[in-house]
Chain A
Amino acid sequence: MITRAHLKDAVPDAFRKFDPRHQLRNPVMFVVWAGSVLVTVFAVTDPSVFTVSVALWLWFTVLFANLAEAVAEGRGKAQAASLRKTKKDAVARLVNGDVVAGTELKIGDLVVVEAGEIIPGDGDVVEGIATVDESAITGESAPVIRESGGDRSAVTGGTTVLSDRIVVRITTKPGESFVDRMIALVEGAERQKTPNEIALTILLSTLTIIFLLAVVALQPFAIYSGGEQSVIVLTALVVCLIPTTIGALLSAIGIAGMDRLVQRNVLATSGKAVEAAGDIDTLLLDKTGTITWGNRRATEFIAVGATSTETLVAAARLASLADETPEGRSILELAGGEPATHHEKTGEFVPFTAQTRMSGIDLDGRSIRKGAASAFELSDTAREIVDEISAQGGTPLVVAENATVLGIIRLSDVVKPGMKERFAELRAMGIRTVMVTGDNPLTAKAIAEEAGVDDFLAEAKPEDKMALIRQEQEGGRLVAMTGDGTNDAPALAQADVGVAMNTGTSAAKEAGNMVDLDSDPTKLIEIVEIGKQLLITRGALTTFSVANDLAKYFAILPAMFAAIYPALNKLNIMHLATPQSAILSAVIFNAVIIVALIPLALKGVRYRPASASALLRRNLLIYGLGGVVTPFAGIWLIDLLVRLIPGIG
């Protein structure tokens, strides 16, 4: 998680963050910072082992908070640096022959890119087809095809054309390109506080004010009681009580949350979108490619008449040997997957044409064909089977030898493995899944049932998708969807979380608030989990932070007042050695716990889909009860060491 290199870069950053202007952004840590300054002044004017130790550890508290943020930012910076390398100074060749620097392109410029050249800016292919190496951005080494028109027309600046020649229309200004946005995002340069983060900051500020007040008012009570306290002790008490743990880690948690998305190759345009992902009530998922494999696959061989199934399988295999389509390959696979023998390769392959509507092989005088049902003369039994498969949403392929129908191959949508379980998890999280498909309602229903989605939208047109999103939103629900086509763009923009596929059009990428570089539609589920994990981490650490205060009271209050009310020593249940060691131990615990929790803040607390009550019970137990118990043990242990310091123990 955190490497030595990370730390090496983070430490100087952590020291730079001592700047009060930086501290002001975080009210809790600003109070600690101001307290450190105050105590330092007293430690300098009236030095003792105790005062100097407290001053040092208060500065450590600030430093550790800075470190948490710096480490979180550092991981982003490393990613940004590797991205920057892709921003080579590309030269753009315009269609009219002019050559300009990539940084001077305007929206609408048409540029020519040929094999071996770097695409100078984001845009859409308007002419030609090419293979493009996008590994610089996606990390995926296999080249992808980009072509004009359709849903695979978008290209990203900084990627390399491997073959052929394309003409690209530039769609973004230099400096606002995809890579630029990505760099800004992972660096956290444009990081704005998200709505929940703002609300939490208000709550933390409120707690800070309460504790400030409680301690400030304590001094007059102490004076009244004849036990006036030093500013150092009071400051130590304030710092221990205010929620420094969460205050110190809050921004690291936010940065790390975005970072986790980036690590999964998802780019969010704002932290707000990530948070919204955790709130999603309804998930719209395209059937094809998301719930089912993108292509129909052979799932069954049905022999007709006197033909045995073995004969049919053998014939189907032969007919598909040269068929490079995904359907063809799936037939081979279902038939056993044996590759063509040397002898079989001598046969004459007959390709599919629109006229014959069939393909196959002529081998040893046998003419084996497979094709659409309408291309063959069918017996009544065969006709019945064909109709039944169609009615169930499948595609029938007829196999015939020398014009005799042997049987039928059922091609159908195959639900990806594990989908049912994922949807059940989503249901447990309170998320309703809706499958969107162009299929007829009957087919859609069959697949919806098989996949275990809650609902489906059949014969869906882009307008229907949009209407469904609006309808859900009117009921107060938050909707997430994925999309890649230009006609998905309005719906992507309307959805609360719209994840565009990187393979999609630039219109889609512009409209959505996230882009998935892997173009994997099922990733939406992971995105939801990351959103939730982000909030849970904040909530859990806040609870932990506040729960810690109980032990600190037990440590510090007897230390402060046992001199005037000896009975208060009964509260010193940790048996801390001296008032000085008690206070110093609490301050040290308070600082050290920040460092101890940095890994948790960066990784996020463990999230497993469960009902809200189960989650709350679990987190309350771990972070609430744990937050009460941990500091008792921690402060007690630290005191065992601290009491050895001369002048303290």
Chain B
Amino acid sequence: MSPLVAGLVQVGVLVAALAAAYRPLGDHMARVFEAKSHSKLEKAVYRFARIDPDGEQKWSTYAYGVLGFSFVGIVFLYVIQRLQSLLPFDFGRGNVPSGMAFNTAISFVTNTNWQSYVPEAVMGHAVQMIGLTVQNFVSAAVGLAVAVALIRGFVRHQTDRLGNFWVDLVRGTFRILLPLSFVFAIVLIALGVTMSLKSGVDVDGQAIVNAPVASQEAIKELGTNGGGVLNANSAHPFENPNEWTNLLEIFLLLVIPVALTRTFGQLVKQNKQGYVLLGVMATIWTAMLAVIWGAEASGLRPWEGKELRFGIAGSAIFANATTGTSTGAVNSLHDSYTGLGGGGALLNMLFGEMTPGGVGTGIYSILVMAIIAMFLAGLMVGRTPEYLGKKLGRKEVTAAAVSILAMPTVLLIGAGITAILPSTQGALNNPGSHGLSEILYAYASASNNNGSAFGGITVTSDWFQSSLGLCMLFGRFIPIVAVLALAGSLAAQKKVPVTAGTLPTTGPLFASLLTGAIVLVAALTFVPALALGPIAEALQ
């Protein structure tokens, strides 16, 4: 089989698997967040945490819940890293330095999973299991909760209640992420991923590091987290031993963001509204895959930085999926990609992570973009703009604008300062345009809560640890608060009836409009910076 055919077969299998999972998973998630009753386990949790599961919250209370929960998560993660030597399974790896602990705590709570540390040298199994893995679940569940709250804003009218954050968080974890992760961890083990509480094994005098990989690998992909238990991440044979696990991992990191468009369609009681979003996501994703794959297959040294067992297609699909979903797991070294291929991965993040984006974040980000697109389109058809029966006025546009502004702002400030810091030259492996790509990539990855590393840049200095940490923090929570405020103002509105004058949002016209808006916003914002990085590199 030629590499092209092999790659196309992989894409075909992937699409078929996603299509098969689309309806059952999407419908299941819709039912989870609509259900009226609580399971025994959930009731116990609510009793323990003193939560009234039937008490609904205003958007502000919901937002306080998200922020409070995440803040506590950051503090907890920071503390256990700093006190690692007191915990079991630390294998003498000692306490994590403060800058690194700060960065890592934020990184995992914000669903970024940017790793400025070498896991097998720094983190023991206890921090991995009770700290990082827990956040892999709950940070994804927070994303789901915020997405559901926004969808409720469209569905509900004349109310200030958006549901209960704690209930949405618990349900997302218990009814969606935990069961799926459990099943797929077993499948991964069956396919050869390792699972061990030992620090490693000694093979002919050589120490081979090991860890409880499979249990974390499943949620690493499913929750679009991406933080590897081992430094080589999904390029490591223990995390990703063969082409089957490779394909499964790609499937896992796409499946929830993709199926959420179905959930959205179910909740707004019009599946077509979800399909059109999926169509937009798929169009951009496929186009970017063609760019990355094409660039890599025709590069000067196509195999540089790639694992032989995955091939060029297997690496390009993974790279496209991981940067398109804000996952950040990697199975190849993006730094070694061509100017165009690496630029493609970077651009995927600069789209604002909505193709299809992270768990929850993807759907809420694309909905925000749809609001901006529909605002302009609404004006062009001569009516006060509306989307899904809600008018888009001052409040809605302001919230959407804040949500969209956050990422470019922190990204450009962070990367801009870094570019002129004297210490930066020492942290880069490459000078010139490629070096700038490395800087841009790092800040794009942090600000978009992707977490994938381009590589080629040493990020352990206090400047990188703190600036990237803050990028992750603001890149995550400013949009979340804005999205919840948006949900609040949408839910408070009456429903605008659909008439012949309403602009339909299910057809190809809307799809092209939204696609255009996503591409245009990213292009207009980042073209100047990209011109000096990947564009200059690719044109040479």
Contact = CB atoms under 8 A, between A and B. Distances in A.
Contact of B416 (A216, A279, A623): A216
A521 interface: no
A546 B520 contact: yes
Nearest to A532: B382
A570 B539 contact: yes
A535 B397 CA distance: 16
Contacts of B496: 476
Contacts of A427: 500
A109 B535 CA distance: 78
A543 B501 contact: no
Contacts of B376: 203, 539, 542-543
Nearest to A538: B379
B379 A225 contact: no
Interface stretch (A144-152, A194-202, A260-268): A194-202
B35 interface: no
Interface in B253-269: none
Contacts of B531: 557, 561, 568, 571
Interface stretch (B169-177, B309-317, B401-409, B457-465): B401-409
Nearest to B517: A546
B423 interface: no
B394 A199 contact: yes
B408 A214 contact: yes
B11 interface: no
A220 B417 contact: yes
B413 A217 contact: yes
Interface stretch (B66-74, B225-233, B502-510): B502-510
A275 interface: yes
B383 interface: yes
A535 B383 contact: yes
Q: Which of A203, A222, A534, A619 has the most CB of B within 10 A?
A: A203
A428 interface: yes
Contacts of A429: 500-501
A73 B273 CA distance: 44
A616 B377 contact: yes
A612 interface: yes
A241 B381 contact: no
A331 to B, nearest CB: 42
B380 A615 contact: yes
A141 B239 CA distance: 90
B419 A210 contact: no
A567 B536 contact: yes
Contact of A476 (B392, B393, B495, B535): B495
Given A203-B401, A217-B416, A210 B525 contact: yes
Given A557-B527, A565-B536, A567-B540, A542 B379 contact: yes
A567 B528 contact: no
A565 B531 CA distance: 9
Contacts of A213: 408-409, 412-413, 525
A430 interface: yes
Contact of B499 (A199, A281, A567): A281
Contacts of A281: 497, 499, 501
Given A543-B380, A561-B532, A613-B503, A210 B393 contact: no
Interface in A172-219: 195-196, 198-200, 202-203, 205-206, 209-211, 213-219
Contact of A540 (B372, B380, B436): B380
Contact of A199 (B392, B501, B527, B535): B392
Nearest to A614: B381
B536 A218 contact: no
A361 B516 CA distance: 77
Nearest to A427: B500
B494 interface: yes
A279 B497 CA distance: 12
Given A199-B375, A217-B416, A612 B405 contact: no
A376 interface: no
Interface string B141-154: 00000000000000
Contact of A539 (B380, B389, B516, B532): B380
Given A568-B536, A568-B539, A616-B503, A217 B412 contact: yes
A615 B392 contact: no
B504 A612 contact: yes
B362 interface: no
Interface string A435-457: 00000000000000000000000
Contacts of A561: 531-532, 536
B513 interface: yes
Interface string B520-535: 1101111111011101
A623 B372 CA distance: 17
A643 interface: no
Nearest to A607: B382
Contacts of B503: 612-613, 616
B504 A275 contact: no
Contacts of B516: 624
A220 B494 contact: no
A617 interface: yes
B241 to A, nearest CB: 40
Interface in A552-578: 553, 557, 561, 565, 567-568, 570-571
B440 to A, nearest CB: 8
B183 to A, nearest CB: 43
A620 B508 CA distance: 14
A219 B419 CA distance: 10
A568 B405 CA distance: 28
Contact of A221 (B419, B507, B513): B419
Select the residue from A223, A430, A533, A550 with max chain B CB neighbours within 10 A. Answer: A430
B218 to A, nearest CB: 38
Interface in B480-519: 494-497, 499-504, 507, 509, 513, 516
A424 to B, nearest CB: 11
A218 B501 contact: no
A613 B504 contact: yes
B393 A199 contact: yes
A6 interface: no
A432 interface: yes
A428 B436 contact: no
Nearest to B529: A221
A531 interface: yes
A206 B407 CA distance: 13
A195 B420 CA distance: 43
A430 B401 contact: no
Nearest to B535: A568
A600 to B, nearest CB: 14
A354 B433 CA distance: 99
A418 interface: no
A58 interface: no
B415 interface: yes
A539 B521 CA distance: 17
A225 B430 CA distance: 12
Interface of A: 195-196, 198-200, 202-203, 205-206, 209-211, 213-225, 237, 241, 275, 278-279, 281, 427-432, 475-477, 531-536, 538-540, 542-543, 546, 549-550, 553, 557, 561, 565, 567-568, 570-571, 607, 611-613, 615-617, 619-620, 623-624
20 contacts: A195-B384, A199-B394, A202-B398, A206-B401, A214-B408, A214-B528, A221-B529, A221-B532, A222-B532, A532-B381, A538-B379, A539-B379, A543-B380, A546-B524, A561-B531, A565-B540, A612-B501, A613-B503, A613-B504, A616-B503
Given A195-B394, A565-B540, 11 more contacts: A202-B398, A203-B401, A210-B525, A213-B525, A219-B416, A427-B500, A431-B501, A535-B379, A539-B379, A615-B380, A616-B381
Q: Give the 10 A-B CB pairs with smallest separation, nearest first.
A: A430-B501, A539-B379, A532-B382, A217-B412, A539-B380, A567-B539, A430-B500, A217-B416, A206-B401, A224-B419
Interface of B: 372, 375-385, 389, 392-394, 396-398, 401, 404-405, 408-409, 412-413, 415-417, 419-420, 424, 432-433, 435-436, 439, 494-497, 499-504, 507, 509, 513, 516, 520-521, 523-529, 531-533, 535-536, 539-540
